[in-house]
Amino acid sequence: MATKPKVIVTRRWPETVEHRIAVLFEAVFNEADEPLGREGLMAALGEADALFPTVTDPLDAEVLAAEPLKAKLIGNFGVGFNHIDAKAAKARGITVTNTPEVLTDATADLAMTLLLMAARRAGEGERHARAGEWTGWRPTHMMGTQVTGKTLGIVGFGRIGRAMAERARQGFKMRILYYDRFPVDPEIAAVLGVEACATVDELVEKSDFVSLHCPGGGENTRLMNAERFARMPRHAFLINTARGDVVDEAALVEALQAGEIAGAGLDVFEAEPKITEALKAMDNVVMLPHLGSATTETRVAMGMRVVDNAVAFFEGKTPQDKVS
Ligand code: 8YV
């Protein structure tokens, strides 16, 4: 890179990554760590050669219509990029990159955490213990649901879905069903010990736990709706570490209230950071504030991956994680 490109980083990133960015680029950091907002994003697109956003930055067609426009690269911090209109970006000559692979394990670990917490009433039990409500051990106290040996249905069999399958199968001897628009080769499925379902409906009907690992937006919007909750067995749980919009949150509340499903473990929500009030009141719902990739190791690796992509881009190469 002959002259240092100007980059605007929309949120605070781990210190080691910000340090590398400061060395390589003319960098603007967001000391306040407040989202820039639509106008701030439009201004940033007019000022910088590259924008490094996160899931809290809606880069839709309207924002990407910014004038003047200087940015040639959007280096997203995260694998999911449904907050970016990649087509609109392409039409404006902006390359978009993401950060796959480096967050696969952390996200699958968190999905398994939520599954276990929901099944074993861990959130409820923790609240109970902290509140000083525990009167002592007894055989019928807070009985949960056995996880080992049950059937897990995975929607979206990409990297994270497969990592979840591996954990569930090897760690918890679960039977694994999956649904994906592009099913894997049956020989590979046999090696992985997973069974394909032809439809999401079939998967939800047969699963004790349904875990979502598909991208958000587009045709996956509200994939889990009232009809699909009604198809799930009454003892089944929903786990969502994908995107909030994959679940119709109002329909989920109704299904839980009606006892159509047994509980849920949620890391993502339709209108983050807002969470539907009714969910907060339910003891059979475990909630986390979008922590899927939130380990120090992973967040550093994600940031470094954004930087690697940007370095390649400004050296005139194709970044390894170009998505459009
Ligand atoms: C990120 C995520 O923390 O990578 C993703 O798609 O959902 C999370 O791991 C978030 O998107 C940051 O932008």
Digit-coded pLDDT (tens) for 42-57: 999 999 999 999 999 9
- Residue located via tokens 């910000």: 18
- Mean pLDDT, range 55-78, rounded to an integer: 98
Quote the CA–CA distance of 256 and 262 in Å, as a whole number.
Answer: 7
Chain mean pLDDT for the chain: 98
Angle subtended by helix axes 104-119 and 296-314, to nearest 10: 150
Amino acid 31 reads: E
pLDDT of residue 130: 98
Q: DSSP letter string over 104-133?
A: HHHHHHHHHHHHHHHHTTHHHHHHHHHTT-
Quote the CA–CA distance of 56 and 306 in Å, as a whole number.
Answer: 16
- Residue located via tokens 């047994």: 262
pLDDT of residue 188: 93
**Interior angle at CA 257, CA 255 and CA 260, nearest 5:** 40
pLDDT of residue 101: 98
pLDDT of residue 264: 99
Q: Which atom of ligand 1 is nearest to the CA of 54?
A: 13
Confidence label for 277 from pLDDT (cuts 50, 70 and 90): very high
Digit-coded pLDDT (tens) for 117-171: 999 999 999 999 999 999 999 999 999 999 999 999 999 999 999 999 999 999 9
**Domains of the chain and CATH, by start:** 6-102+296-314 (3.40.50.720), 104-287 (3.40.50.720)
Quote the CA–CA distance of 74 and 50 in Å, as a whole number.
Answer: 6
Q: Measured over all CA atoms, what is the biggest interatomic distance in the chain, rounded to whole angstroms?
A: 71
The secondary element (H helix, E strand) that includes residue 87 is helix 86-91
Measured by CA distance, the residue closest to atom 2 of ligand 1 is: 78
User: Which of 12, 55, 246, 267 to mutate for ligand 1's pocket (most ligand atoms within 8 Å of CB)?
Assistant: 55
Q: Which atom of ligand 1 is nearest to the CA of 298?
A: 9
Question: Residue 293: CB within 6 Å of ligand 1?
Answer: yes
Confidence label for 205 from pLDDT (cuts 50, 70 and 90): very high
Digit-coded pLDDT (tens) for 278-290: 999 999 999 999 9
pLDDT of residue 193: 97
How far apart are the CA of 138 and the centre of ligand 1, in A? 41
Quote the CA–CA distance of 177 and 168 in Å, as a whole number.
Answer: 11
